[in-house]
Amino acid sequence: MTNPAISALAEAIGDRHVQTGDDIEPRFRTDLRGTLHAAPLCVVRPGSTEDVSAVMRIATAHHIPVTTQGGRTNTVRGAMSAETGIVLSLDRMTRIDDLDIKSMTLTVQAGAPLQMVQEAAAEAGFLVPLDLGSRGSATIGGVISTNAGGLRAVRWGVAREMVLGLEAVLADGTVADGLKKMLKDNAGYDWKHLMIGSEGTLGVVTRATLRLRPMPATTMTAFCALQSFDDVYDLLRDLDRDMGGQITSFELMWPELYHLVLDHYPERTAPLPRTFPLYVLVEAMGGDPAGDPARFEAALGTAIESKLVIDAVIAQSERERADLWAFREDIGLPMRAKGPMYAFDVGVGLSDIPETVRRTVAAVRTDYPDAFILTYGHAGDGNLHFVIGVGEYNDAAERRVDLAVFGAVKAARGSISAEHGIGLAKRDDLHFSRRPGEIALMRTLKRALDPDNILNPGKVINMDETFTGPVVA
């Protein structure tokens, strides 16, 4: 180890926790798609907040970029390091420091996988409302740093809403210790929200205190058919009103996706005919096993009477519930079977969804009249997913499809990334959803918190002041 920075790191956190050269495990260089990226200068695996602080002090002293890694389930290349950088893996920091059932909080190190935390809370009778498909790999630090969203945001919000207290290490190694358990704190600036969702570019999240909820006793799930998108607004409002705020998921599926899944899994029974214009999977959670199912059925009954819903099935068992969710969740294989696709995760106001879909489809079909377009999403959150196949898969095609989608999003003042983040993949398209004053403010914040630009540099925001957005032909 002749590199003085590497020597200093080995000295600070222990030789065996610093990997270099051929000793670097492939997992630290592999992204979600399995692509092996160039090896970084080194991988460090701190065991404590103090270790992370030491790493950042050394990185600052030697001007070396630092990219923090959690579960690497990120889709926007947010956790991939440069060859000249340090990969800071939190995979040794998985300790639950405190499960306070009186305060209904859980304090945990950032490297703990979400599922581990969910299970610890469940054992004590509590729910961690945040849930997503990658729960087994995604870490608490990762879901916080990317402000993960998931399937229950309409009721309990995104990751941000679950974080009561946060500890983070700043660029120069300063530990900002904001761990706390109360719901209300107006003593000074709420800097934690700046860390949440900033993808490791403003600081390294090391520990968090999460708010827990009493574990719901009931889950009611229905799959409904709608006559038109016009009915979505009233349906969501009425169901949430009638269920007294207990709607946890409101997932829209356009028919193309439903057909795709049905066709791919012919052995599965279709819960509803394939002929309807729109489908929605609704779930509610409550606390009254004796009364909740009837309340849910009555709320749906009212919706059917008022023609907001034209057909519906309610799951009568956990098995039936899983079967309904399978039409929403088992979409990966059917999609991949259709060939390479471009996937999008955008956000718009609920009232802007129809026009955003219309514009996107029209723009894509201008270039690709036969394009295959799937639309679905967490509609209750204004979160839409597009999956688009155009018959070719190359940079130019990707860019054309990007511009079609992002143009529609911009017209609706929407977000080009509702829950996946920006990372490297979408950095230079940030201008489609943020106005110049916002971009300027973000640059100011980045410069202030990371003056040497060593925290995951190149991600989230283009710091070149002359860059004012991509050239759009």
- Minimal distance, residue 455 CB to its own copies, in Å: 12
The set of residues, in sequence order, having a beta carbon less than 8 Å from that of 44 and lying 6+ positions away, is 9, 13, 17, 18, 19, 55, 86, 87, 88, 89
- Minimal distance, residue 111 CB to its own copies, in Å: 21
395, burial (CB in 10 Å: exposed 0-12, middle 13-18, buried 19+): exposed
By C-beta, is 19 or 74 nearer to its own copies? 74
Please identify which residue in 355, 393, 435, 468 interacts with its own copies, judged by CB under 8 A: 435
By C-beta, is 72 or 459 nearer to its own copies? 459
347 binds its own copies (CB under 8 A): yes
Please identify which residue in 274, 438, 468, 472 interacts with its own copies, judged by CB under 8 A: 438
CA-to-CA separations, 15 to 10, 22, 46, 382, in angstroms, rounded: 4, 15, 11, 48
Point out which span in 114-122, 259-267, 332-340, 441-449 binds its own copies (CB under 8 A): 441-449
- Residue 242 contacts residue 154 (beta carbons within 8 Å): no
285 binds its own copies (CB under 8 A): yes
Please identify which residue in 15, 83, 190, 392 interacts with its own copies, judged by CB under 8 A: 190
- Minimal distance, residue 56 CB to its own copies, in Å: 12
Point out which span in 1-9, 10-18, 84-92, 170-178 binds its own copies (CB under 8 A): 170-178
Please identify which residue in 42, 324, 416, 454 interacts with its own copies, judged by CB under 8 A: 416
Q: Which of 339, 262, 247, 231 is nearest to 296 (CA)?
A: 247
Residues between 348 and 377 that touch its own copies (CB under 8 A): 348-352
Q: Which two tokens stand for residue 140?
A: 């608490």
- Minimal distance, residue 304 CB to its own copies, in Å: 17
Give me the residues paired with residue 30 across strands: 36
Write the interaction track for its own copies spanning residues 124-143; mark x where CB under 8 A is met and - where it is not. -x------------------
Helix (H) or strand (E) holding 193: helix 192-195
CA-to-CA separations, 145 to 68, 141, 237, in angstroms, rounded: 10, 6, 31
By C-beta, is 272 or 350 nearer to its own copies? 350
Please identify which residue in 245, 277, 339, 391 interacts with its own copies, judged by CB under 8 A: 245
SS3 per residue for 450-473: CCCCCECCCCCCCCCCCCCCCCCC
Letter for the amino acid at 111? G
Helix (H) or strand (E) holding 9: helix 4-13
170 binds its own copies (CB under 8 A): yes
422 binds its own copies (CB under 8 A): yes
Point out which span in 19-27, 259-267, 270-278, 416-424 binds its own copies (CB under 8 A): 416-424
33 binds its own copies (CB under 8 A): no
CA-to-CA separations, 416 to 10, 227, 360, 362, 412, in angstroms, rounded: 40, 28, 13, 18, 11
- Residue 246 contacts residue 375 (beta carbons within 8 Å): no
Cα 244 from Cα 248, distance rounded (Å): 11
- Cβ count within 10 A of residue 461: 20
Point out which span in 112-120, 196-204, 270-278, 365-373 binds its own copies (CB under 8 A): 196-204
- Minimal distance, residue 81 CB to its own copies, in Å: 21
DSSP 216-264: PSEEEEEEEEES-THHHHHHHHHHHHHTTT-EEEEEEE-HHHHHHHHHH
421 binds its own copies (CB under 8 A): yes
Please identify which residue in 51, 131, 231, 242 interacts with its own copies, judged by CB under 8 A: 242
Point out which span in 19-27, 66-74, 275-283, 421-429 binds its own copies (CB under 8 A): 421-429
21 binds its own copies (CB under 8 A): no
Q: What letters, b where the CB count within 10 A reaches 16 and e where it falls short, cover 93-116?
A: bbeeeebeeebbbbbbbbbbbbbb
- Minimal distance, residue 211 CB to its own copies, in Å: 10
Please identify which residue in 68, 74, 105, 375 interacts with its own copies, judged by CB under 8 A: 105
160 binds its own copies (CB under 8 A): yes
Letter for the amino acid at 405? V
CA 192-193-196 angle, 5° bins = 90
By C-beta, is 163 or 257 nearer to its own copies? 163
Cα 347 from Cα 46, distance rounded (Å): 36
Count of residues engaged in binding its own copies, rule: CB under 8 A: 107
Point out which span in 19-27, 253-261, 283-291, 322-330 binds its own copies (CB under 8 A): 283-291
Point out which span in 30-38, 237-245, 256-264, 319-327 binds its own copies (CB under 8 A): 237-245
Please identify which residue in 194, 270, 326, 397 interacts with its own copies, judged by CB under 8 A: 194
Cα 458 from Cα 335, distance rounded (Å): 31
465 binds its own copies (CB under 8 A): no
